[in-house]
Amino acid sequence: MPIVVQKFGGTSVGDIDRIRHVAKRVIATKRAGHDVVVVVSAMAGVTDHLVGLANEMSDAPHAREYDVLVSTGEQQTVALLSMALQDAGFPARSFTGAQAGMRTDQAHSRARIRRIDTEKIRLALADDQVVVVAGFQGSDDDGNITTLGRGGSDTSAVAIAAALDADVCEIYTDVEGVFTSDPNVVPKARKLDRISYDEMLEMASLGTKVLQIRSVKFGKRYGVPIHVRSTFSEKEGTWVVPETEMMESLVVSSVTYNRNEAKVTIHLLPDTPGVAAQVFAPISEAGLLVDVIVQNVSREGHSDLTFTVPREQLAQVLPIAQKIAEELGAESVSSDDGIAKVSVVGLGMKDHAGVAGRMFRTLSNEGINIEMINTSEIKISVVIREKYTELACRSLHEAFGLGDAPMVAEEH
């Protein structure tokens, strides 16, 4: 029988009534003739409460025990959803991550999936049971409980879909799918019917929170079709699929933004070999995340190095950057947290010249100054003043024709 994996997040299972609603969706899929594996998160608020307890207990909670604690959230949801299914007359069986055979490495709170021993899941499916798996968690080979890190439930779901060779992994969320831009910022934003793994990856790394980036990587590697759709509507959502399945390939498929970054500039850094490594090694060792990096020669033998970090990490980054600047003989360090990063993403731009030109011209026409530029094969990001975020998104959305008739790339 075809297998469907369905993943429901914390909002979708936020209270008893919502869990009952999820049960109805699961039952509809079961009735349509599918074997169903459901992956669920903790009820909204529960994980935060547990993390709060851990932080109240300890400034640096012991990693193994942290996982034992927070994994109880999903365990509660699987039990409650299984009860709801049983009550509706559908045999169901809950599985903790460990029971589901989700084997990970030992990196507590950010464990990576090694393999999935699907035997118990398959036995339950063969017994016509709905399988309800706790997302976000697994166990190492010694039976210690591990967690995959926040948002790991998406990854659990796609990994299980891959291991079971499921027909589809449905990710249920509180929006109707993946949009050409944030509808709160760009009123004309339109739901995409399909998007490629690569575009979704760029969008996830640019701050679009619909799908967890690791889950998209899993989907891409194992070719799992992912269907992002709404818990609260019957409508089709957005399919995340291989590039080859893209019927229409837009030059640009979405405009995204991220207002949660700050930039740091080290001025007049002596331009010697290995200097970049010397700058970023201590920042990375401190567990801080660097995003865009731009380096420009500014005076002979010296350059200005600018990079962005998550805004909440600025206070930690600055003293490290200052220490490095001193050691390397740079002139000074400055920072700025009034920026935003706006990006256009699209498979089509690989072969289509002029996307960058059109982007820069559009922003220039609106009087928006570009402070940094960063590109990849299928995306262009610019850093601008934060106050222009909405204006930039709307004008780019318009310029690339995303609101109405899709602008299709030329055949290649």
**Contact pick of 62, 115, 209, 361 for its own copies (by CB under 8 A):** 62
Residues paired with residue 374 on neighbouring β-strands, in sequence order = 381
Distance, in Å, from the CA atom of 250 to the CA atom of 263, rounded to the nearest integer, reads 31
How many Cβ atoms from other residues are within 10 Å of residue 191's Cβ? 18
Residue holding tokens 């950010």?
110
CB of 392 to its own copies, least distance (A): 45
Six token digits for residue 172 = 């249920």
**Contact pick of 51, 83, 268, 391 for its own copies (by CB under 8 A):** 83
405 DSSP 8-state letter: S
Q: Does 250 interact with its own copies (rule: CB under 8 A)?
A: no
- Binding to its own copies (CB under 8 A) within 9-48 occurs at 16, 19-20
Q: Which of 299, 320, 254, 204 has the alpha carbon at shortest distance from 307?
A: 320
Q: Which is nearer to its own copies, 126 or 289 (CB)?
A: 126
Q: Does 99 interact with its own copies (rule: CB under 8 A)?
A: yes
Size of the site for its own copies (CB under 8 A): 34
Q: Does 64 interact with its own copies (rule: CB under 8 A)?
A: yes
Q: Which of 134, 132, 160, 144 has the alpha carbon at shortest distance from 105?
A: 144
CB of 315 to its own copies, least distance (A): 25
Distance, in Å, from the CA atom of 391 to the CA atom of 121, rounded to the nearest integer, reads 50
Q: Which is nearer to its own copies, 61 or 348 (CB)?
A: 61
Q: Does 205 interact with its own copies (rule: CB under 8 A)?
A: no
Distance, in Å, from the CA atom of 341 to the CA atom of 356, rounded to the nearest integer, reads 15
CB of 28 to its own copies, least distance (A): 19
Q: Does 126 interact with its own copies (rule: CB under 8 A)?
A: no
Q: Does 295 interact with its own copies (rule: CB under 8 A)?
A: no
Q: Which is nearer to its own copies, 11 or 72 (CB)?
A: 72
- Binding to its own copies (CB under 8 A) within 212-241 occurs at none
Q: Which is nearer to its own copies, 80 or 204 (CB)?
A: 80
Contact 352, 409 (CB under 8 A): yes
Angle between helix axes 389-399 and 355-365 (nearest 10 degrees) is 130
Element (H, E) at 132: strand 130-134
Residue holding tokens 């995204």?
256
Q: Does 54 interact with its own copies (rule: CB under 8 A)?
A: yes
CB of 80 to its own copies, least distance (A): 5
**CA separation, residue 68 to residues 40, 98, 252, 393 (Å):** 17, 12, 44, 43
Judged by CB under 8 A, the stretch of 62-70, 218-226, 368-376, 402-410 that binds its own copies is 62-70
Distance, in Å, from the CA atom of 73 to the CA atom of 374, rounded to the nearest integer, reads 39
CB of 145 to its own copies, least distance (A): 8
Q: Could you tell me how many residues make up the chain?
A: 412
Beta-carbon contacts of 380 under 8 Å, excluding residues fewer than 6 positions away, are: 343, 344, 349, 355, 356, 359, 373, 374
**Contact pick of 39, 40, 69, 201 for its own copies (by CB under 8 A):** 69
Q: Which is nearer to its own copies, 62 or 387 (CB)?
A: 62
Q: Which is nearer to its own copies, 54 or 356 (CB)?
A: 54
Q: Does 57 interact with its own copies (rule: CB under 8 A)?
A: yes
- Binding to its own copies (CB under 8 A) within 145-164 occurs at 145
Pairing of strands 194-196, 238-241: parallel
CB of 161 to its own copies, least distance (A): 23
Element (H, E) at 113: strand 113-116
**Contact pick of 33, 89, 119, 143 for its own copies (by CB under 8 A):** 143
CB of 292 to its own copies, least distance (A): 37
Name the burial class of residue 332, with classes exposed (0-12), middle (13-18) and buried (19+) by CB atoms within 10 angstroms of its CB.
Answer: exposed
Six token digits for residue 43 = 């009820």
CB of 93 to its own copies, least distance (A): 8
**Contact pick of 29, 86, 109, 230 for its own copies (by CB under 8 A):** 86
Distance, in Å, from the CA atom of 130 to the CA atom of 191, rounded to the nearest integer, reads 31
**Contact pick of 72, 106, 205, 313 for its own copies (by CB under 8 A):** 72
Judged by CB under 8 A, the stretch of 72-80, 206-214, 325-333, 347-355 that binds its own copies is 72-80
E strand spans, 331-371 = 332-336, 339-345
**Binding-site ranges for its own copies (CB under 8 A):** 16, 19-20, 50, 53-54, 56-58, 61-62, 64-66, 68-69, 71-72, 75-76, 78-80, 82-84, 86-87, 93-94, 96, 99, 143, 145
